[in-house]
Amino acid sequence: MTGRPLTIGTRGSPLALAQARMTASALEQAHGWAPGSVTIIPVKTSGDRIQDRPLAEVGGKALWTKELDLALLTGETDCSVHSMKDVESERPKTLAIAAMLQRADARDRLIGAGSIQALPERAVVGTSSPRRKAQLLRLRPDLDIVSIRGNLDTRLGKLQAGDVSATLLAAAGLDRLGRAETGTAIALNEMIPAPAQGAIGIECRADDAVTAAWLRAIDHEETHAAVLTERAFVRALNGTCHSPIGAHAVIEGGRIRFTCEILSEDGGERVVDCAVFAVGDLDTPAEMARAMLAGAPDSIRHLFDAA
Ligand SMILES: NCc1[nH]cc(CCC(=O)O)c1CC(=O)O
């Protein structure tokens, strides 16, 4: 390592720590640094402190990033590792997302039943994601959706205890915590994932060219382009990670294929669109967002007014 050791700021949850370790190893490998030479610094975030109610209710942005941003801006850390899904679409100008690791499985997995159709009539399903709730209710209006929070083990514990008969979790998170066998994947066209689901991003200070260059060596370009597309859609909606938005981009034949939807809270209404356009074109997803909102019923439109 040249000069100084690199430090990574991360949330302290088991998933966040696993993602920070993946990032540290990727950096050590890419640059021929000794294993363990990148230091991981856990930082407690507002989102971690609030365990008793749905975050959608608490409101406010930057629940997962504020304290990590502070550690970065004060020089305590050199970069922050994030689940891109939890990173608000507007970031401080003083920071830059310099790299994204290759996206893992972007799908949700259903745990507790073999498929959404196989859930018993009026089954209780635990999720505090407004997107998952709306998507589930659209397919199965009879379901009783209840809020559950906490880390993966807490949620699986509530399922085990019979508090809920099923839950949905991101495949990427389950896989990274060694639970590749848990649950059944829901097809991408049955439930469009959250924007940036399955992608890990690494952010550094905008004026730190040394760290930025180190990070660029582990950037996965296709993931980066796809996630920027999804984030451009969210930004144009004025959405947050608590809005009922599905958005998923893939690169096919050198072009972006982008599928997106916005839903009313009870899933009773939705607007969906799909388009193919050039990689790097962030105007088209923004334009799609504005057109979808303009044509959406009030039950959807009001969700994006307040922001
Ligand atoms: N909002 C919590 C969160 N943020 C990122 C992931 C999973 C990992 C990922 O999507 O990369 C999860 C858990 C979940 O939704 O099941």
**What would the pLDDT profile of 153-186 be if each residue is shown by its tens digit?**
899 999 999 999 999 999 999 999 999 999 999 9
Tell me, yes or no, if the pTM score tops 0.90: yes
* Chain segment 39-87, per-residue pLDDT in tens: 999 998 776 666 666 656 655 556 778 899 999 999 999 999 999 999 9
Which residue lies with its CA nearest to atom 11 of ligand 1?
Answer: 198
- Considering the domain architecture, whether residues 20 and 95 belong to the same structural domain is answered as yes
Give the active site residues. Answer: 86
Residue 193 belongs to some domain of the structure: no
ipTM: 0.97
- Considering the domain architecture, whether residues 118 and 81 belong to the same structural domain is answered as no
- Considering the domain architecture, whether residues 129 and 52 belong to the same structural domain is answered as no
Residue 58 belongs to some domain of the structure: yes
What span, in angstroms and rounded, lies between the C-alpha atoms of 295 and 287? 12
Structural domain boundaries enclosing 214: 7-101+199-219
| Residue-by-residue DSSP string for 171-190 | HHHHHHTT-TTSSEEPPTTT
Residue 194 belongs to some domain of the structure: no
Amino acid letter for position 91: R
Residue 61 belongs to some domain of the structure: yes
- Considering the domain architecture, whether residues 166 and 60 belong to the same structural domain is answered as no
Identify the bridge partners of residue 82 per DSSP, sorted by sequence position.
201
> b/e map of 22-56 (b: 16 or more CB within 10 Å)?
bbbebbbeeeebeeeebebbebebebbeeeeeebb
- Considering the domain architecture, whether residues 62 and 122 belong to the same structural domain is answered as no
Give the binding-site residues of ligand 1, using a 6 Å CB cut-off. 83, 85-86, 169-170, 172-173, 197-198
How many domains is the chain built from?
3
* Chain segment 247-258, per-residue pLDDT in tens: 999 999 999 999
Residue 121 belongs to some domain of the structure: yes
Residue 150 belongs to some domain of the structure: yes
- Considering the domain architecture, whether residues 55 and 175 belong to the same structural domain is answered as no
- Considering the domain architecture, whether residues 205 and 91 belong to the same structural domain is answered as yes
Q: What is the CATH number of the domain that holds 128?
A: 3.40.190.10
Of ligand 1's atoms, which has the minimum distance to the CA of residue 168? Answer: 16
- Considering the domain architecture, whether residues 81 and 125 belong to the same structural domain is answered as no
- Considering the domain architecture, whether residues 240 and 156 belong to the same structural domain is answered as no
CA of 2 to the centre of ligand 1 (A): 34
Cα-to-chain-centroid distance, residue 60: 17
Residue 190 belongs to some domain of the structure: no
Q: What is the CATH number of the domain that holds 266?
A: 3.30.160.40
What span, in angstroms and rounded, lies between the C-alpha atoms of 106 and 109? 10
Q: Which residues contact 29 (CB under 8 A, 6 or more apart)?
A: none
- Considering the domain architecture, whether residues 306 and 278 belong to the same structural domain is answered as yes
Residue 165 belongs to some domain of the structure: yes
- Considering the domain architecture, whether residues 118 and 68 belong to the same structural domain is answered as no
Q: Percentage of residues in the chain with pLDDT exceeding 90?
A: 87
Which residue lies with its CA nearest to atom 1 of ligand 1?
Answer: 86
CA of 173 to the centre of ligand 1 (A): 6
For position 139, what pLDDT does the model report? 97
- Considering the domain architecture, whether residues 61 and 126 belong to the same structural domain is answered as no
